[in-house]
Amino acid sequence: MELSRRTFTALAGTAALGLALAGSGGAATGAHGPRGVPTGPPPPPPSADGRRHRIGHDRYSLLVDGRRLVLWSGELHPFRLPSPSLWRDVLQKLRAAGCNAVGVPVPWNYHSPAPGTYDFTGVRDLDLFLTMAAEERLYVILRPGPYLGSADLDAGGLPGWLTATGGRSRIADPEYLRHVDEWLSAVDRIAVRHLFTAGGGTVLLYRFEDGFEVFADEPAGRAYLTRLYDRARADRIDVPLFHADGRLGRQAPGMLAGAAGGAADPWGGATSGGKGYAQVRRTHDAARERRERLASLADGVTVHNVRVAFGGTSWGWLPAPGVYTSYDHGAAIDEGRRPTPKLAALQQLGHLLRTVPDLARLDPAKEVRAEDDRLKVRHLANPDTGAQVYVLHNDSAEPVGSMLPGTGIDVPVTVGAHDAKLLTTGLELGRRKLAYTTAQPMLNMTVGRQDIALFTGRAGETAQVALDCDTEPVTSRLDDEPGWSYDRGRLNIVVPLGVGGLSRVLIEGGDSETPLMLLFADDATALHLWPYETPSGPLLAYGPALLRSVTLRGSTAHLVGDHVGGMGLEVWAPRGITAVTWNGRPVRTRVSRAGSLVMEELMPDVPEVRLPALRGWRRQVENPEAEAGFDDSAWPVAGLTSSHSSTPVPGGGPVLFADDYGFHHGDVWYRGRFEDTRGVASVSLSYSTGTQGLLMAWLDGRPLGTHRMPVPDADTARRGTWTATASFDVPEKRRERGPHVLSVLVRPMQHDGDERAQGTHKAARGLVAVGFGGRSRDVEWRIQGAAAPDRVRGPLNNGGLYGEREGWHLPGFDDREWRTADFPREVRRQGVTWCRTGFRLNVPADVDASVGLTIDDDPERAYRVQIFLNGWNMGQYINDVGPQHTFVLPNGILRTRGTNTLALAVLSDGTTPSGPRDVRLTLLGAVRGGVPVEAVDSPGRRPGG
């Protein structure tokens, strides 16, 4: 979602809020902040330093302690990575990839299983996450909702219990606001300890609410936003506040709070053409990232938040109804935490914005037209330094090369098909002046006793860089690829990209006594270049798969990161550094002509990661609830006659909606007792679910059949609530005197969002009405869903299957009396069958391996699987819908050096063999390095418990 300058502040009445704060010390300076702040170095990387800080802005950028800051944020959803150790892994990857901030949504439903109850422990430890972000030197954009519709969450992040309360959501309704006040204050009590203004942490911005439909221009929307603003201020949140539908704030910078880093893919894969997130990543590739990010920069946007940089997994019943378990999103860092090629675009721009302060203050400049009109040019200039910036867009389907008259760039510039490029002229490169470049700058820094400038482009392109030099310098090519010439005060350097890795050109003497090292890299090579800020100055490393941290002690630089086999290590270090260690081990190095320390040998290979075959399966059929003699006396009676749902209660009732009886997530069972089926030819069951919901029915333990919602297409993929009536014939031999029991299992999927504040999240889930063809019957209904929420795994982990209520998914459950099972399964049965096995992993301690569970089968088979790893519900597989087949098993929940329990709850409709055919572990990637991983608490069921 793009926010223009007018949307950067929130509204209270007619007063512009958000960045306009009063006070001193740690208070923000607001729109009336320091006038005419000149171009200069950005503030140092943030930390919880205990000092007071000032946050302001002008029309160009944020101002932190009087310095210009271009905020380059990647959004991370901690709730989609239920292993706190791995939060640090992704935070380090974001920082290394050029981000100086992280966007963090905080879902209400994830933390609140019941009214007034807020859980911030274990995998929900917000305090721990904010502490980690500060330790990793990242600013935080905190967004606690209360509505988070853009995050593709159940009910847009509103808690399930809210569906059974009075009041209208997302407006100034007193009952709703009472709950909102409690929620925001629960978050704010944690957030206030981490505010950057007070030095307790790095929370820099605070965004409330989400979505387009709460309009600040309407009285109800204005009153609601005012209340949220007042709540935050009352809770001592003194950093800038903003909202998507805010009104013009004076001199506010451009903001992109939700830059699309990919796209959500619905059930069936309408977005991906059924090919899943690999296809989404191909369509939302690095070229698209460059086009969109550079377009926003040209529009004056200096506050960027890419949603999402890492998507993760919508485990349990967390996701919005339209999307499946994986939330890979086609993001720059994939669901298995592996950097992808599209990370290059974010990395190059992030480090450019961090190390070239000219880009923090740009004005539109004289129009420029390329000779080839397929190339569109945006011209900007820095009013302080005179540096010129040209953003080039090629929307055609082929590369375009063109001259750029009036720019001072004397050679043709090529931009790839559907790609973009940022070029500069008049830029200071350390102590020297850049005349022009046909390659995009990535960083400009001083390391030790020399200046370093890095230029990037696509493999196969030729980079040309021209420097203004009154006196001819000594120019040395340190690799075979570059060529150079000097003529009449200009040094021209030409380098083919993508040939031989990194190309180095050393420039000495001439107009400056400080050497300048020019580096040239294609995208793949640039993903192995890692700048890092140390207290003694910048450091630059080349070679590893990732640089996580650098510590300087004495004359040694201690580097920690990831690597794969066949890679070397080259380090440009601050003055006085003569030795290097890598992951705690000394590295033999030599000093190169480039002024770097070069590892004399290649890094060792990654040890082989062996994954066991999954054998020793045991199985047990369930759904005793379908049997006539099942004891349901402890189940709640479904006898309500009114509801807060947005779905009307059918005339005469009763209310059968699951939420009204406290069952908000997962499967729900109904049992209806009546006396006589004589004259009853059919049963009609009306029900309401999210996408891909289904219903199964039994009469006196005999299957009547299954009904399921259709697979969405491109036109219906965003529909959040689906309704249908399933009609089943009653066999002649079952039309007899009673008593009889009608058993119904509904998989309701998730709740719709509430984008238009019309209460759509309160649409019914479960049965709506029941009718009998031929004769009406009075029915006494009982209902049962999930048991009390797991204290560790939370309210979104479990549903209402019998096996879940009995702990069949938990480690330690005694399944020795279950029958052995072999795959593929060929049995046709309506209902639920559980399969369990254990396996042991022994991944080397210094290897970070990402492991997934893959299920494959004939797509004609109609069944679905809930996957439980060590008791954690890792998602839902629907065999005949897809497109997901591989489910990431996050380390921490997955014991990579220990024993694991895998349980599958297979729900089949009886029309086809129930499967599965092939279930296997899949290695998604492995590197030497990673972060220390602590086991996530996974309580099990003790034998006999």
Question: Tens digits of per-residue pLDDT, 626-642?
Answer: 999 999 999 999 999 99
Would you state the structure tokens that stand for residue 673, as one six-digit string? Answer: 């007792």
- Whole-number Å distance between alpha carbons of 191 and 142: 8
Contacts of 931 (CB under 8 A, 6+ apart): 85, 86, 88, 89, 92, 548, 848
Q: How far apart are CA 892 and CA 337, in angstroms?
A: 14
pTM of the model: 0.96
Arithmetic mean of pLDDT, 436-458: 97
Confidence of residue 245 (pLDDT cuts 50, 70, 90): very low
- Model confidence at 434, pLDDT cuts 50, 70, 90, reads very high
Q: What average pLDDT does the segment 374-398 reach?
A: 97
Q: Which tens digits make up the pLDDT trace of 699-732?
A: 999 999 999 999 999 999 999 999 999 999 999 8
Instruction: Find, among 903, 889, 904, the residue nearest to 940 by Cα.
Output: 903
Distance between CA atoms of 35 and 525, rounded to whole angstroms?
41
Neighbours of 576 (CB within 10 A): 12
**Residue 184, amino acid:** L
How far apart are alpha carbons 875 and 877 in whole angstroms? Answer: 7
pLDDT band with cut points at 50, 70 and 90 for residue 9 = very low
* Structure confidence at residue 244 (pLDDT): 65
Q: What pLDDT, in 10s, does the model give residues 27-37?
A: 444 444 445 89
- Give the span between the Cα atoms of 717 and 890, in whole angstroms: 28
pLDDT at 3 exceeding the cut of 80 = no
pLDDT, residue 353, reads: 97
With a CB cutoff of 8 Å and minimum separation 6, the contacts of 19 are: 8, 9, 28, 30, 31, 55, 56, 57, 240, 242, 249, 252
Give the number of residues written for the chain: 945
- Is the model's pLDDT at 247 over the cut of 80? no
Handedness of CA 220, 226, 229, 231 (dihedral sign): negative
Round to whole Å and give the CA distance between 672 and 700.
10
The predicted structure's pLDDT at residue 35: 59
For all residues of the chain together, what is the average pLDDT? 93
Average pLDDT score over residue span 757-766? 96
Q: Report the percentage of the chain scoring pLDDT > 70.
A: 94
